[in-house]
Chains A and B, each alone.
Chain A
Amino acid sequence: MSDPLPLMLVGVGAGLLAGLFGVGGGIMFVPALVLFAGLSHLEAEATSLLAVVPVAAVGAWRQHTYGNLRLRPGLLVGVLAIGGSLAGVVIANAVPERGLEYGFAALLVFTAYQLIREEDDEEDTDDADHDG
């Protein structure tokens, strides 16, 4: 087996990211598994998914204790995303990938702008509630 220390450090960082922003952590797992464990890209993606399961599940459970989780909507989104991703794989194989990637990158930047721009006064009022 490879030297586990770099992978463990990346793991902690990915978990922090997952907890802070509600992502799975795969964005850090995949490159780390290629780099430090010598896995192929496919193996790294597959292994990353396996690692994401307990991270997302424990994160959701912790968020539940903080009163932030809407479980049924989350499960509904998750189940339907499975079907959507199968369709996505079909689309990815049918259209030129490069154009799609530029389009999606632009959409992400636009979304980032929207997130920063939008004022959400309703939320800042409930900041104190979470400690109780």
Chain B
Amino acid sequence: MPKTLQLAAVGTVAGLFSGVFGVGGGVVIVPLLALALGYPTRVAAATSLAAIAVIAAAAGALHAIYGNTDPVEAAVVGFPAVLGVVAGTALQQHIPIRTLRLGFALLLIIVAITLVV
């Protein structure tokens, strides 16, 4: 399958899962890029962030039209998180791939548990 079609499939599947289950796209996009498309782990995480920015902007804008968003609380939680993501991406460059994968696997299991309980 051509690369563009594969990426199109990843996007559609990620969207479907987040639409059905309300999970964030990253939980689906990172494993699909890493396992199905063979992206290196860090590249999969990086590329997933770009996709999430697009998805969250679109969905967030739609919610804002409906008046569901609280911009003040978004800023309170969001600005420290921007500092966190700068530190997290820097830290990620020094963490061995196996440890990263183990951490992500743990994250998936936690999401699985929250879905079932």
A interface residue numbers (CB < 8 A to B) = 1-2, 4, 7-27, 29, 32-33, 37, 39, 42-43, 45-60, 62-64, 66, 68-71, 73-92, 100-102, 104-106, 108-109, 111-116, 118, 120, 122-124, 126-127, 130-131
Q: Are the C-beta atoms of A122 and B40 separated by less than 8 Å? A: yes
Residues from chain B with a CB closer than 8 A to the CB of A92 are 19-21
Shortest B44–chain A CB gap in Å is: 6
Q: Are the C-beta atoms of A37 and B70 separated by less than 8 Å? A: yes
How many residues on chain B are close to A (CB under 8 Å)?
99
Provide a sorted-by-A list of 30 A–B residue pairs whose CB atoms are within 8 angstroms: A1-B72, A7-B77, A11-B81, A15-B80, A15-B86, A16-B87, A18-B26, A20-B45, A20-B100, A22-B49, A23-B24, A27-B24, A33-B70, A39-B73, A49-B63, A53-B53, A53-B57, A56-B85, A58-B82, A59-B85, A64-B46, A70-B47, A75-B54, A76-B7, A77-B47, A85-B15, A102-B116, A108-B108, A112-B109, A112-B112
Q: State the main secondary structure of chain A at its contact with B.
A: helix
Q: Are the C-beta atoms of B14 and A77 separated by less than 8 Å? A: yes
Please measure, in the bound complex, the distance between the C-alpha atom of A40 and the C-alpha atom of B41, giving whole angstroms. 35
B interface residue numbers (CB < 8 A to A) = 3-4, 7-8, 10-27, 29-31, 33-35, 39-60, 63-64, 66, 68-98, 100-109, 111-113, 115-116
